[in-house]
Amino acid sequence: MDGRWGLGPVFASEWQTGSRSPRVYAIRAGFVLMLLAVLGLVWFSGGPSNQHQTLRDFAETGSEFFFGLVGTQLALVLLAAPAATAGAICLDRSRGSLTHLLVTDLSDPEIVLGKLAARLVPTIGLVLCALPVQFLASLLGGIDPTALVGASVVALSLAGFACSLALTFSVWGRKTQEVLLATYAVLLVWLLIYPTFYAFGYDWEWLWKLDPFQLAMAPYSTSPGSVGWLDYLVFLTVMIAASVGLIGVSIWRFRAVAASGDQPRRSKARREFRWLGRFRPTLDADPILWREWHRDRPSRWTRAIWWLYYVLIFAFGALAIMRSFKIGGPDEMAIYAIGFGSAIGFLLLSVDSATSLAEERARGSLDVLMTTPLETRSIVWGKWRASFRRVLSLAIMPVLVTLVCVEVDEHAWERWYAGSMVLGLMLAYGAAITSLGLAVATWVRRLGRAVALCVGIYVVGTFGILFIAATNLLPENSEELFMVGSPIIGPFYPMIRTQMSPVESQRLWVAPAWIGVYTVSAGLLLLATLATFDRSLGRARVGGEGSGSRLARRLRSGGKWSFGRSHHKPASLRHAWEE
């Protein structure tokens, strides 16, 4: 049994089941439509008013097509590959179906490789869907077919590595969101290695050639002929070797970890500071927030990832503050710490906000909460506030760096204006992401799909704003104002604007305007969640409200029921519930 290697019947069963799902074809069609939309934006931003375009103009447009297509393809592969593989093993183990595989004569390689291949094949198909669009764009000229093939090789090798990494974490992980957090964290650290060393003045050629975005776009971003087939083959070899190593570790420890069960390890009770007792919710005043405060105990994986993020962001923030004292103002390190640090923090928040409701819905504990006399708006509002708590910790370092690094000569109020605007933008971004995660978890039943959809919407919105701002579709001198809507640019924009020159009157409304936009968006998403919560989760509605709302009013009113003009008092609580 241990000597059999291959895909086995696990791949055949899961592949036949997955290929019949219309979701696979919908994702492929949506991916191609997104590529065509990117081509349309690039085309119309290149000056369509010119009626006499030359071949050189078409070639320049084709080179812009290359950046749009390759960047979109790599970004979606990084999102889709972990989302498709994160629940391959941990989800079956939580459901109990993995135990049935362990008692069969299937070998460990057949189970692991079968599950990996069943999720890797759709991801590879997603990458290959972009090839026809890319080669059609090459007909305009300006796109080297060798560069397109090389970028496709980078995307395929990246898909294999991301799926292998997610599968490895899925062997040890207990929850899908833990696996996704760990996978995204490792991929983000990998992608930030070269920009970090470049910010410190180390521009090593071998280092940027291991970055998938730098390597795929090198024929047009650096210089022609800077990369060749040898560089693509080296990257492919490194990714294959890393994937094989991860798969080998997964096969080696699969049966031992899976047979140990899904019982969480006992850990020491969480120690809370005494001063936090003043701010902890009480059961009588706010039962939902009290429940979330005591129920939402993050696992070791989640705590480790968040602690790693806080350590890194505070380290870069302290370094930015020290460099600002040396040069007398903020530099690239401050922008790097605030912008990318905030974007990564909000990415982790998008995973947390979606899982706060989706996980409880998948485990069935939400059904118990739905049978209580609590009103629907109390449940939704309590869930929202429980997820929004982490936003305050995300805003500490950007506000601190802004207040310390800004140098003012005459008007001291500019420092406090920049700090207050950064705080307002961080809270507005966090409110919108929290509402988005709660809404997606309400409307999407599957946990993995809900998390992947929330993360995908956040990433597309964050980088889509920057992409639109880079085109010529916006009015003149408005690109800078539009980019403030991205969580990458917005947190450090008030600091840079105040440092360059005195705050101009026509720029004062930019940050408050985006704060208003995101606040209104968060409110609308929260209202949409309230309107569809009962119907999506199957809660009975009485008189236009949740089934427990009348009972809650009955208990608070001391036994008086209101049915138009008639009033009566039931004999007992059981009779009240039956009515």
Query: Quick one: pLDDT at residue 90?
Result: 81
d(CA 225, CA 204): 17
pLDDT grade for 473, boundaries at 50, 70 and 90:
low
Quick one: DSSP state of residue 563?
A: B
What's the pTM value of the predicted model, to 2 decimals?
0.75
pLDDT digits (tens, 9 = 90+) for 80-126: 888 888 878 887 787 777 778 788 878 888 888 888 888 888 888 88
Instruction: State the number of CA atoms in the 13 A half-sphere of 271 facing the CB.
Output: 1
Structure tokens at 217: 């776009």
pLDDT cut 70: percent of the chain above it: 74
Q: Read off the DSSP letter of residue 506.
A: G
Nearest to 152 by CA among 115, 125, 170, 172: 125
Q: Which of 81, 79, 36, 75 is nearest to 213 (CA)?
A: 75
Structure tokens at 405: 């690094």
Task: Find the mean pLDDT for residues 311-333.
Answer: 77
Give the highest mean pLDDT range of 129-133, 157-161, 182-186: 157-161
Cα–Cα–Cα angle for 215, 220, 226, rounded to 5 degrees: 60
| Position with higher pLDDT, 182 vs 23 | 182
4-13, 456-465, 487-496, 519-528, range with the lowest pLDDT: 4-13
Query: Would you place residue 178 in the very low, low, confident or very high pLDDT band (cuts 50, 70, 90)?
Result: confident
pLDDT at 480 over 80: no
Q: What is the pLDDT of residue 434?
A: 92
What's the pLDDT at 412?
Answer: 63
Per-residue pLDDT at 559: 43
Q: Give the 3-state secondary structure of residue 541.
A: strand
Average pLDDT of the segment spanning 357-370: 74
pLDDT score of 404:
80
At residue 519, the pLDDT reads 93
Non-local (6+) Cβ contacts of 554 within 8 A are: 373, 560, 561, 570, 576
Confidence of residue 482 (pLDDT cuts 50, 70, 90): confident
Q: How confident is residue 245, by pLDDT bands cut at 50, 70 and 90?
A: very high
Question: In the chain, what are the domain boundaries?
Answer: 8-47+55-259, 281-536, 550-578
Does 287 or 354 have the greater pLDDT score?
354
Angle at 383 between CA 378 and CA 386, to 5 degrees: 120
